[in-house]
């Protein structure tokens, strides 16, 4: 079977299990998966129960697809993703987004836990991604192109929809949040960046840094899916504060902003 056939089979398996196919999907990053548990009339499918779906082994990624309703709208929430640093190739990393595209998803919200490069950011801030810098050394479109997914050379002028960014700002204001905007830099990982690398990222215009999201965003745009990106600044990047970085801090900060994060997503969905 081809890669397209694998994606099609996974999409068919989801379609057979849900009463209504979602048009909105959310990928939940490290420590942010609690939103999936807030959905009403939910159908939960473990990644391991879906054909060809890669399973994540990273702490903070529970590994399940939940289809349910929020504010009366049917959505798909992916609690966890896989990463290049786990040893997956770019096709596997972007597999879930390919499936969502074949299901008919038209709006994709990508969330992540990120390090704050911009020293003006506070730990726990929710940053709207305006654009990204791909420093992962990989692009999910490398290799033979299947036109059923999209064109060979998709435009990346506006990866993150200006319309969706405006909606996010309005949703934030409704709950008393002024959301900072910024540029997300994606690196391979899994080691955290060095202070010298963070100074370099700041110089080239990055405001936050992480190890995900960009491959998914590229694939989504190839498939004509509108994308909104939100980074939870769970820690300040290396060299900003006089302390070492630790994944436990990422998880603790994500837990602290859980209420704000869920309220923001619910507000965004309510306006879509």
Active site residue 181: no
Q: Are 253 and 231 in contact (CB under 8 A)?
A: no
Out of 3, 4, 85, 200, which one is annotated catalytic?
A: 85
Q: Is 11 a catalytic residue?
A: no
Question: E strand or H helix at 24, and its extent?
Answer: strand 24-28
Query: Radius of gyration of the chain from Cα atoms?
Result: 17
Residue 88 falls in the annotated catalytic set: no
Is 235 catalytic? The answer is yes
Which residue in the block uniquely carries the two structure tokens 């010298």? Answer: 196
Q: Which of 113, 136, 208, 254 is catalytic?
A: 113
86: annotated active-site residue: yes
113 a catalytic residue: yes
Residues 129, 132: Cα–Cα separation, whole Å: 7
Catalytic residue among 211, 217, 220, 254: 211
Q: Known catalytic residue: 57? A: no
> Distance of CA 31 to CAs 26, 27, 35, 190, 247, Å?
14, 12, 10, 16, 10
Distance (Å, whole) CA 133 – CA 102: 27
Q: Please pick, among 134, 247, 263, 266, the residue that the annotation labels catalytic.
A: 247
* H helix or E strand, kind and range, residue 215: helix 214-222
Instruction: Tell me which of 12, 13, 42, 86 is the catalytic residue.
Output: 86
Catalytic residue among 8, 10, 25, 30: 30
Contact 152, 100 (CB under 8 A): no
Are 81 and 200 spatial neighbours (Cβ–Cβ below 8 Å)?
no
Q: Which listed residue (11, 25, 47, 83) is catalytic?
A: 83
Whether residue 61 lies in the annotated active site: yes
| 248 vs 156: CA distance, rounded Å | 34
- Give me the catalytic one of 11, 61, 90, 220: 61
End-to-end CA gap in the chain: 36
Catalytic pick from 212, 216, 217, 237? 212
- Would you please indicate which residues are annotated as catalytic (active-site) residues? 30, 61, 83, 85-86, 113, 211-212, 235, 247
């Amino acid at each position: 079977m081809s890669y397209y056939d694998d994606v099609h089979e996974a999409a068919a398996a989801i379609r057979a299990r849900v009463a209504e196919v979602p048009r909105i999907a959310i990928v939940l990053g490290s420590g942010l998966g609690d939103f999936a548990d807030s959905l009403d009339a939910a159908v939960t499918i473990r990644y391991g129960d879906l054909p060809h779906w890669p399973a994540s082994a990273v702490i903070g990624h529970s590994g399940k697809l939940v289809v349910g309703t929020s504010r009366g709208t049917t959505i798909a929430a992916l609690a966890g993703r896989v990463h290049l640093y786990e040893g997956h190739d770019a096709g596997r990393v972007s597999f879930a987004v390919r499936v969502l595209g074949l299901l008919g998803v038209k709006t994709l919200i990508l969330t992540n836990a990120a390090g704050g490069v911009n020293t003006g950011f506070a730990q726990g801030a929710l940053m709207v991604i305006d654009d990204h810098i791909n420093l992962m050394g990989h692009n999910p479109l490398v290799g033979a192109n299947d036109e059923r997914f999209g064109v060979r050379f998709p435009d990346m002028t506006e990866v993150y929809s200006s319309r969706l960014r405006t909606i996010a700002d309005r949703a934030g204001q409704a709950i008393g949040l002024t959301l900072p905007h910024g540029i997300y830099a994606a690196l391979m990982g899994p080691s955290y960046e060095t202070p010298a690398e963070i100074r370099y990222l700041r110089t080239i215009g990055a405001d936050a840094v992480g190890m995900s999201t960009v491959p998914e965003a590229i694939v989504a745009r190839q498939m004509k899916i509108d994308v909104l990106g939100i980074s939870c600044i769970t820690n300040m990047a290396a060299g900003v504060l006089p302390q070492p970085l630790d994944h436990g801090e990422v998880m603790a900060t994500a837990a602290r902003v859980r209420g704000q994060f869920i309220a923001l997503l619910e507000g965004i969905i309510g306006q879509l």
